[in-house]
Amino acid sequence: MKLETLAVHAGREVEPATRAITPSITLSTTFERAQDGAFPGGHIYTRNSNPNRDALERALAALEGGGIAVAFASGNAATSAVLQALTPGDHVIASIETYYGTRAVLTGALRRWGLQADFVDMSDPANIARAMRPNTRLVWVETPSNPRLRLTDIAAAAAIAHAGGARLVCDNTFATPVLQRPLARGADLVVHSTTKYIGGHSDVLGGCVIANANDDFMQRVRAYQVFGGAAPSPFDCWLLLRSIPTLPYRVRAQSEGAMRVAAFLAAHPRVACVHYPGLPAHPGHAIAGRQMQGGFGGMLSFQVVGGEAEAMAVAARVRLIVRATSLGGVESLIEHRASVEGPDTPTPRNLLRLSVGLEHPDDLIADLAQAMA
């Protein structure tokens, strides 16, 4: 079944009692037992499971070609669930350019808990191999990365991880299953901030973890959802399921727009560098061409000539594009990323991150042109 068809139908069945095509929202926190103590409806308590969450998880698993999905109240909750499924003393290898929320979990509470982490440049798989230790249990790949859209060869990274007895996790938030299928390239788990492209409307917080099989590791991930209090609300699940049918078309349109905006910026004299894997000059262009299908995504970043003050000035002058954190929504957003990430950020101070929405690219280009005039 094609992705567009899966996006419309996965997790969505006509309700038998009312024949409703749009799923109802089940807000009940608890469910009646049968006289013999069983649960004929399949649900006990909404922190454990809920009809809306079950439907969303079926849809997410289908989109990524996985066997199981676990939904969470945020992307960071999904990340924390994976990392807390490890054992104190385990070693994790992550990209030198990892989303700052993921880095904060690895270097904050979980370091005190005993988790070890190293950050390496994953654009060269040899760096992963050199960082492997006997106690390495997880390799965390983010491709394209946030915010400079660096690329990692998923298949090569998975082979190295598996040879060392580790699992490979891929954060697929930027690419989405529309453009990239990490499980098919050897990844063991896929993580999303569903707040972003899957939600797509900047109105719901969420995350998910997807895997091929419900093994012991994924059962520990599920336990974090249930007992760690990280379960999403029924309404949040309903909103995300509502958004999935348009996901393929939104992502492809945003990718087309981003390609045009990136080409404009690459030719602009006030732009020092554009980070977008669709540009032939991007160092990861060849890898992106192999493992991203149908487009290069709606995210890009660019560095303004001069420095931080000049970059901030450009962001201050946009009129159509909105200055705000987040990405993947229908509206275009621009952000001075280093000021969000704090003083220890590796992000260049003159870098602006741009999430291209569904506006016409001519209008976005005109807005950027006047902002840099």
CATH number at residue 310: 3.90.1150.10
User: Tokens 């990392």 — which residue?
Assistant: 83
User: How many domains does the structure of the chain reveal?
Assistant: 2
Q: Helix 234-243 crosses helix 51-64 at what angle (to 10 degrees)?
A: 40
Do 171 and 36 fall into the same domain?
A: yes
Question: Is the dihedral angle over the CA atoms 257, 182, 139, 171 positive or is it negative?
Answer: positive
Three-state DSSP class for residue 301: strand
According to the model, what pLDDT value does residue 345 have? 86
Do 105 and 165 fall into the same domain?
A: yes
Do 261 and 176 fall into the same domain?
A: no
Do 197 and 344 fall into the same domain?
A: no
According to the model, what pLDDT value does residue 155 have? 98
Do 241 and 324 fall into the same domain?
A: no
CA dihedral 236, 200, 3, 294 (to 10 degrees): -160
According to the model, what pLDDT value does residue 221 have? 98
Look up the domain containing 16 and give its range: 3-245
**CATH number of the domain to which 108 belongs:** 3.40.640.10
Do 230 and 85 fall into the same domain?
A: yes
According to the model, what pLDDT value does residue 109 have? 81
Do 32 and 98 fall into the same domain?
A: yes
Do 32 and 140 fall into the same domain?
A: yes
Distance of CA 40 to the CA centre of its chain: 35
CB-CB neighbours of 129 under 10 Å = 17
| CB 160 within 8 Å of CB 125 | yes
Provide block-wise average pLDDT over 10 residues at a time, the chain (373 residues): 97 92 95 93 94 98 98 98 97 95 91 94 97 98 97 98 98 98 98 98 98 97 94 98 98 98 98 98 97 97 97 98 97 95 88 98 98 96
298 closest CA partner among 180, 175, 199, 201: 175
Residues with catalytic roles? 47, 99, 171, 196
Which residue type is seen at 34? A
Could you tell me whether strands 322-323 and 167-171 are parallel, antiparallel, or unpaired per DSSP bridges?
Answer: unpaired
According to the model, what pLDDT value does residue 71 have? 98
146-179 residues labelled b (16+ CB within 10 A) or e (exposed): bbbbbbbbbbbbbbbbeebebbbbbbbbbbbbbb
174 closest CA partner among 72, 338, 285, 300: 300
Out of 219, 245, 271, a domain closes at 245
Which CA distances in Å does 33 have to 26, 37, 41, 128, 205? 17, 5, 9, 51, 31
Do 53 and 69 fall into the same domain?
A: yes
What's the predicted TM-score (pTM) here?
0.96
Compute the residue count for the chain: 373
Do 226 and 190 fall into the same domain?
A: yes
Do 44 and 161 fall into the same domain?
A: yes
